[in-house]
Amino acid sequence: MTGQPVKRSFAGASLDYLGARYVGAGPEACSYTTQAIEIPMTDGVKLAADYYAPELPDNQKSAGLIMIQCCYGRGSGISFINARIFAARGYQALFVSTRGTYGSEGTFDPGSNEQSDSQDIVAWMRQQPWYPGSFATLGASYLGYSQWALLHDPPADCVAAVIPVGPHDQAWHAWGTGSFRLDRASWSDLMSKCDEEKGSFLSRLANIPGLSFLRSSELEEAVAGLPLEASLQKYFGDKAPWLFEYLKHPNVDDDYWTPRRHHIALQRANIPILLISGWYDTFTTQTMHQFKHLRGRGVNVNLVVGPWTHVQGSGLYSMPEILDFLSEHVAKTEDARSNREVGVPHARQARIFITGSQEWRSMPTWPPDTRPKTLYLQENNGIGPGPPVLDTSPASFVFDPLNPTPSIGGNQMSSGGRVDDSAYAKRSDVLAFTSEPLSEDLEILGIPSVRLIHTSDPPFADLFIRLSEVDTHGVSHNITEIYQVLDPSRDTSKPLNLDLQDCAHRFRVGTRMRLIVAGGSFPMYARSLGTDEDRLRSDKTTPQKHTITIAGGVSQLVLPTTSAV
């Protein structure tokens, strides 16, 4: 069933105008109409969609067609950033609700149907009288995942893609560290209520106090309960069945994850792609992997990374780049707005925000050429350029699963970001190795790494490592981090090598570096219980004593510094 085209209302035009000013989109080119549509899938399911058509003179063609797949509804807030803003600038837009959400038939099973459904949508588009012969894709987060699912088998008429903060591999996010990522529970809570609650996804999200990691005190209690799986089952009941499938499949190579992993898209995609991320996004590692892989294949890929969280990186602060990219690769016009403050992406270029110096910088690729600078863990929780003497005592702490080290900022889904994490240095279950004030600026661009001689008793343990900066007032702020479940059978006489997440930061004169080492980050990750039992299905816990050998400089922090430093 297809509805009649509806002209934009005065209220809609006012919202579009105010929203465009907020995101820096520049002036509109036209008004538009919206038409409700049902799109048939090959299995008989019908997906609900809205088709946006720009109102243009008879002799003027549209700037191109943009296809968006979304599981968060098609209300005014989310349709503005994904469809209406482009329709008002001459683009057609097809905004489709994911199977099982917001009017679309079928059952929502995250990641399992996007590959086939997206191909069906494309086949249906080609039969429509308004189809211009080619299209681009767009959308952030899960909408970006849907694009990677389509690019698993790239259609010949797909000419470009805009993918902000979008993962290509659901298994990597859920289980890539070896521990379950607990934001899957809060996200599942939101998605399980998409049909029973009034209002759009964005309006419901806005009602969560402070956009906190957990939706409610009840969910907070469920995540804290042991055994974890049973506690979550009591909270969810028969809702969000996919969450419990996630819990059943901790092996990322399990067949369950195969349709939810799209690494092959990185091998097959050969169209211009704009990737957008934030240093504090929950999917930063995947976006950086996407860029490096595509760049290595010679694909025309652009990268923009700002000082953003997941929500901020979804397009709110990068709309000028998105419009310029579409203008160049979809509309193929010459009116790129090159005088934008943050600049215009060009082929195979990275546009990177350097924290610390608070500046944007363009570079031909990422990471740039750097040279390693090795710092050594010192006695008395210091860190510096010279290795300590051979009789330096080891450093240790105890992680208690019943009082786990808290998650503070960082790459969390909604409550992360750059924060004051000074509290870590005051905790007895954290080691905070801090340098002396720097005598000159030190800039790092790329992936810092740590090399530790580390043991734990018992051997069933995790490590959370963070690099932070302590300012001249003694306040610490996070830069980059890593979480990893340790192999209990590893040879602890050999160094444990861990790469942190990509970062770009300039430590200013007078600031200090701080390396934070802990045994957990909760509720970001399911905590280690310290036993050989399943951390999801056991309520038995044992405190874990972590010991790091410092003597002789065997435990190190290696920084990727610029050649100018």
| Nearest CA-CA partner of 432 in 511, 516, 376 | 516
Which pLDDT value is given to residue 563?
58
Residue 125 CA to residue 128 CA, distance in Å, equals 5
Mean pLDDT of 327-332: 93
> For 474-518, how does the pLDDT look when each residue is reduced to its tens digit (9 = 90+)?
999 999 999 999 999 999 999 999 999 999 999 999 999 999 999
The pair of structure tokens assigned to 533 is 């039992």
Alpha-carbon distances, residue 487 vs 56, 460, 461, 484 (angstroms): 62, 8, 8, 9
Residue 149 CA to residue 167 CA, distance in Å, equals 10
Residue 288 CA to residue 276 CA, distance in Å, equals 9
Residue 267 CA to residue 152 CA, distance in Å, equals 9
Q: Is the pLDDT of residue 445 over 70?
A: yes
Mean pLDDT of 239-257: 97
Mean pLDDT of 96-121: 97
Residue 172 CA to residue 284 CA, distance in Å, equals 12
> For 175-229, how does the pLDDT look when each residue is reduced to its tens digit (9 = 90+)?
999 999 999 999 999 999 875 444 444 444 443 333 344 456 899 999 999 999 9
The four Cα atoms 332, 335, 340, 343 give a dihedral, to 10 degrees, of 40
Q: How confident is the model at residue 343 (pLDDT cuts 50, 70, 90)?
A: very low
Which pLDDT value is given to residue 195?
59
Fill in the amino acid letter for 20. Answer: A
> For 26-73, how does the pLDDT look when each residue is reduced to its tens digit (9 = 90+)?
999 999 999 999 999 999 999 999 999 999 998 899 999 999 999 999
Share of the chain above pLDDT 70, in %: 93
Scan for tokens 């379950």, then name that residue.
180
Q: Is the pLDDT of residue 110 over 60?
A: yes
330 three-class SS? coil
Alpha-carbon distances, residue 354 vs 51, 165, 305, 516 (angstroms): 39, 18, 9, 21
23 three-class SS? helix
| Nearest CA-CA partner of 521 in 284, 242, 142, 183 | 183
Q: Is the pLDDT of residue 1 over 80?
A: no
Which pLDDT value is given to residue 3?
86
Q: Is the pLDDT of residue 108 over 80?
A: yes
The pair of structure tokens assigned to 169 is 């591999």
DSSP at 179 = S
Indicate the average pLDDT of the chain.
93
Collect all residues with Cβ–Cβ distance below 8 Å to 9 and sequence separation of at least 6: none
CATH code matching the domain that covers 370-562, chosen among 3.40.50.2000, 1.10.1060.10, 3.30.70.890, 2.60.120.260: 2.60.120.260
Backbone phi, psi, residue 326, to 5°: -65, -40
Q: Is the dihedral of CA 532, 249, 145, 240 positive or negative?
A: negative
Q: Is the pLDDT of residue 8 over 70?
A: yes
The pair of structure tokens assigned to 532 is 């050989």
Range(s) of the chain covered by CATH 2.60.120.260: 370-562
Which pLDDT value is given to residue 332?
78
Are 86 and 326 a contacting pair, CB within 8 Å? yes
| Nearest CA-CA partner of 234 in 224, 322, 455 | 224
Which pLDDT value is given to residue 17?
95
Architecture of domain 1-133: 3-Layer(aba) Sandwich (3.40)
Mean pLDDT of 510-528: 98
Q: How confident is the model at residue 285 (pLDDT cuts 50, 70, 90)?
A: very high
Mean pLDDT of 320-330: 97
Residue 395 CA to residue 377 CA, distance in Å, equals 10
Which pLDDT value is given to residue 415?
79
Least confident span in 170-184, 300-314, 339-353: 339-353
Pairing verdict, β 382-384 and 512-518 = unpaired
pTM of the complete model = 0.94
Q: How confident is the model at residue 379 (pLDDT cuts 50, 70, 90)?
A: very high
Cα Rg of the chain, angstroms: 24
The larger pLDDT score, comparing residue 359 to residue 207, is at 359
Alpha-carbon distances, residue 193 vs 101, 225, 283, 360 (angstroms): 10, 22, 24, 40
Range(s) of the chain covered by CATH 3.40.50.1820: 1-133
Share of the chain above pLDDT 90, in %: 88
Q: Is the pLDDT of residue 101 over 70?
A: yes
Which pLDDT value is given to residue 157?
97
Residue 105 CA to residue 48 CA, distance in Å, equals 8
Are 200 and 75 a contacting pair, CB within 8 Å? yes
Fill in the amino acid letter for 339. Answer: N
Largest CA-CA distance found in the chain, in angstroms, rounded: 83
